[in-house]
Every structure is written in C-alpha cells, then in structure tokens.
Amino acid sequence: MSGTAILGNFCGDEGKGRIIDYYVGKNNIDMVARFSGSGNAGHTIQIDDQKFILRQVPSGILHPNVNCVLGNGMVIDPLVLEEELNNLTTLGIDFKDRLLISKNAHVIMPYHILADKNNEESDHRVGSTKRGVGPAYEDKIGRRGIRISELSRCHNQVFRNLNRWNIFNQNCISDSVFEERRKDCLNSIERYQDILNPFVCDTVQLVNDALKHGSRVVFEGAQGSMLDIDHGTYPFVTSSNSTIGGVCTGLGIPPQYINKVIGVFKAYDTRVGLGPFETELFGPESDSLRNAGHEYGSVTARPRRVGWLNLNWLKRSCMINGVTELALTKLDVFSNWSSRIKVLTSYGYQSFNGWKSDITKCRKWHELPFEAREFVSYIENYLQIPITMISVGPERNSIIEKEISQVKGNLLKYIPRLEE
Ligand code: IMP
C-alpha cells in the first residue's frame, strides 16, 4: 500500500510538475494519477534545454514505464489533450499503452469555453484561464454535464445545454447562430471520441487494483490550496477541490491509501488572476522578484502577481492537507538578492539576509550557504514539518534531498523573532 499525494500549497505554479517528475524517478513510482482540474494547469519540466509543458497529462509521462491516469475528477478538453499528445509524439515519448482516461471524467464542450470568456467580460470575472473549466464543473454539479462515456449518445443533452447557456448568456445569440453552434458542437463530438477512445477505461478499478497489489502511486494535484473551491479565497478560486479531499473523490480511492502528503511551495508566493494576496509586492520590488523568478505564465505568458511567502497560509494549508513533508522550490531566486528576504508569520514579518553566491550547483544540504540554510530551517521550525526536497534551479536534477533524520535534529523548539 503506497500512495503519495503531491499538492500545491498556494495559488498554483509552485513547481509541482518538476517535483513529481523528480520524485517519480527517485522512488520507482509505477503510476501517476491526476485527480482534478484541466488544461487550466501548466506543469513544466525542464530536461537540458528542452521544456515540457503538461496541462492535462500527468507529470510522470516522461518516465517510460510509468502509467499515467486522468481521473474522474478532471474535466477534459479533448483538443488540448490532442495538442499535448502531438507534442509528446514529436518529442519521441511513447504513451500508447500507459495513458488511461476515466470514462467518468467530464468533457469541456465549445459552449463552456464561450461561457467562460463571456463571464470574464462581465462584473463577475475572477480572472479565469478562459479554458471553460468553471462552466464545465458547473454543468457537472448541475447534473447536466457530459461524461466521456456518454459522448456517443449526448446529442439531446448538448441541445438542452446549448439552450441553457444561451439563456444565461447576456449577449443572446440569434437562431441561425444557435443552429450553427449546435452543428459545430455535434461535429466536434465525433472528433472528441476519436481522440479519447483509445485511452478510456474504468480508472477507479484500475487505480484501486494497482494500489491493492502494491504498486507505488503518486496522486498529482493541480492548482493550489488557495484556489480550492471550498478552502480557497472564494469566489476567486478554481471550480474543483485541489486539496487532499479531491484525491479520494477525483480518483475513487479510500483515504487509507494516502500514506504520504508532500506539500509543494515556493520561496515566495505568486498568484495569477484576481483575489486577495496579503503579502503582494508592487513597483520596482515586484518587478525584481518577477524577473528573477521568471514569473510569467507557462502557457499564457501573463505576468504573475508576486509577494513574500505567507507562512500563516502555508500553515493552514498544511493542516487542511495533512502535509507530512514539504518540497521548497525556487530557492535559487534569492541568490545575490541585495535586500532582506521576508516571510509573513503570525507575529508579523520576519526578515533574512540574502546569500551572495550561486546555489544552482549545490546538491547537498551542507553545500548551501549559511543564510540559505537559516531561511529553510526557520520555515521548518515554524511549521514543524520537515522540508525534504529543495529545488535550486530549473534543471530536472537541481534538487537537494534532505534526509528526514537530518531534518529532525533540526526541528528545534520554535522561538519567534520579530523583524529586526
Ligand atoms: P479557472 O480555473 O480557469 O476557472 O480560473 C480560476 C482561478 O484559478 C484564476 O484566478 C486562475 O488564474 C487560477 N488558476 C487556475 N489554474 C491555475 C494554475 O494552474 N496555476 C495558477 N493559477 C491557476
């Protein structure tokens, strides 16, 4: 019985993709199963000079013997999937017998994308990715969504849904446009089936069987806890559960299979879209951090909002998710940082000295400069959770692994220090 959940702990873009890719390689993982979200995600893995951006396909796909599952909790855009698969084929990655898609996952239809775009032009905008994710989940919860298994017999439902979205669409369309959209939709459906059918199966049975027979499985999170529909900064959230509960519902597995929960977070925080961001930076300081961290969307290239690491939020996120270990990414961004580095705690801001050396070649904990180790240890002590992986560069293997025993001795009784 071995299942590890790897989840984002802020607003997405924490570096889950590369942490999953690394963890899979190091721990002989047999299967990576994604439980929520859609093509709104952009999980980046860099190998040498080549960047792989995965949006719906799980981040284990670059390892040849790993099965990759798109679970029932996802809403799938077949055209985005086709593009991803074409890219993988071009790069010589064979996925044929190891990509498995849940027959119960819902399909993002063209009218969902239109509805999402329309919503972003209204007063109710949340700064969505405009991929149709919110409207597709709306239809799912409204019990009128279209599951992959129903694609061959959904024509009447498509008609009803089109009508419904048209009614709620402020810019009501004429009958002729309506008819055109209906035809487009029905034509798309055949294409969707061609794309999806080779991979569709009962993934609930498959994942449970794998776990029961001792396979090592990673449950891949998308987005982050602050974007969770229940626990995030509602209404500025995505429309699914990106926290731990989503693993059970989005894959159909019982909680006792989740043996380890790795929370991924960056050395600072970022957010895309609207919504509260307590530690947000503005002006030249935000530009410096955004540029140092290359904080531009992996798919859209939109500049991300940036700010200091909020440990209060991280603590809450660790509580909700039952995080047992942490993975800290982008520590190298603060190399040669000239001003103080800050983190927000319940006592106010705590600040640290930057380090004046390049840490991208460090592979052992003791190789890190004192200031960097002080920063990491402070976070561990504050949260009382070990940080077992630290990424120090974009390359696949630029990760420092810390033994739990090495960490435990380090978890001192936390003594609060206010900003000096
Ligand atoms: P939606 O998921 O497209 O509906 O967008 C809802 C909110 O979640 C917006 O603020 C998006 O910017 C944000 N969001 C969704 N997916 C991601 C992601 O993978 N990374 C970062 N932000 C995301």
Taking only the tens place, the pLDDT of each residue in 333-366 is 999 898 999 999 999 999 999 999 999 999 999 9
User: pLDDT at position 329, please?
Assistant: 98
In angstroms, the CA 144 to CA 28 distance is 40
- With a cut of 60, say whether residue 412 has pLDDT above it: no
Ligand 1: which atom is nearest the Cα of residue 42?
19
- For ligand 1, is residue 128 a contact (CB within 6 Å)? yes
Residue 36 CB less than 6 A away from ligand 1: no
Highest averaged pLDDT of the listed ranges 164-173, 285-294, 298-307: 285-294
**3-class secondary-structure state, position 351:** strand
Q: How many residues does the structure list for the chain?
A: 420
Q: What is the best residue among 129, 220, 240 to mutate for testing ligand 1's pocket, by most ligand atoms within 8 Å of CB?
A: 129
Among 272, 274, 277, 306, say which to mutate for ligand 1: greatest number of ligand atoms within 8 Å of CB: 272
Is residue 11 lining ligand 1, measured as CB closer than 6 Å?
Answer: yes
Does ligand 1 come within 6 angstroms of the Cβ of 136?
A: no
Distance CA 373, CA 392 (A): 12
User: Residue 34's Cα: distance from chain center in Å?
Assistant: 9
Closest CA to 387 of 372, 395, 397: 372
Q: Is the pLDDT of residue 381 over 70?
A: yes
Which of 1-10, 228-237, 281-290, 409-418 has the lowest average pLDDT? 409-418
Q: From the CA of 213, how far away is ligand 1's center (Å)? A: 36
Buried b / exposed e across 171-189, counting CB within 10 Å, b at 16+? eeeeeeeeeebbeebeebb
Q: How far apart are the CA of 302 and the centre of ligand 1, in A? A: 12
Using CA atoms, how far residue 19 sits from 59, 149, 152, 357, 397, in Å, is: 9, 32, 38, 24, 10
- Residue 238 CB less than 6 A away from ligand 1: yes
> Which residue, chain included where needed, has tokens 């013997």?
65
Q: What is the mean pLDDT of the chain?
A: 93
Specify the amino acid at residue 131.
Answer: R
Is the pTM higher than 0.85? The answer reads yes
Q: Which 3 state secondary structure label does DSSP give 356?
A: coil
Per-residue model confidence (pLDDT) at position 298: 75
Q: Compute how many other C-beta atoms are within 10 angstroms of the C-beta atom of residue 91.
A: 11
Query: For ligand 1, what atom is nearest to the CA of residue 273?
Result: 10
Catalytically active residues, by annotation: 13, 43
Q: Whose CA is nearest to atom 11 of ligand 1?
A: 128
- Report residue 357 as tokens: 């050396």
Contact 21, 62 (CB under 8 A): yes
pLDDT at 420: 37
At residue 312, the 3 state secondary structure works out as helix
Cβ of 132 less than 6 Å from ligand 1: no
Position 407 scores a pLDDT of 56
Task: Check pocket membership of 227 for ligand 1, CB cut-off 6 A.
Answer: yes
Q: What's the CA gap between 55 and 220, in Å, rounded?
A: 12
Residue 131: CB within 6 Å of ligand 1?
A: yes
Name the residue with the closest Cα to ligand 1, atom 2.
238
Interatomic CA distance for residues 43 and 56, integer angstroms: 9
Point out which residues pair with 344 in neighbouring strands. 310, 349
Closest residue (by CA) to atom 15 of ligand 1?
40
User: How far away, in angstroms, is 165 Cα from ligand 1 center?
Assistant: 22
Confidence at 177, pLDDT banded by 50, 70, 90 = confident
Distance CA(185)–CA(187), nearest Å, equals 5
With tokens 């509580």, the residue in question is: 319
Q: Number of helices (H) and strands (E) in the chain: give both, helices first.
A: 12, 18
Distance CA 220, CA 75 (A): 15
Q: Greatest CA span in the chain, whole angstroms?
A: 71
Other Cβ atoms within 10 Å of 322 Cβ, number:
15
Give Cα 135 to chain centroid, integer Å: 19
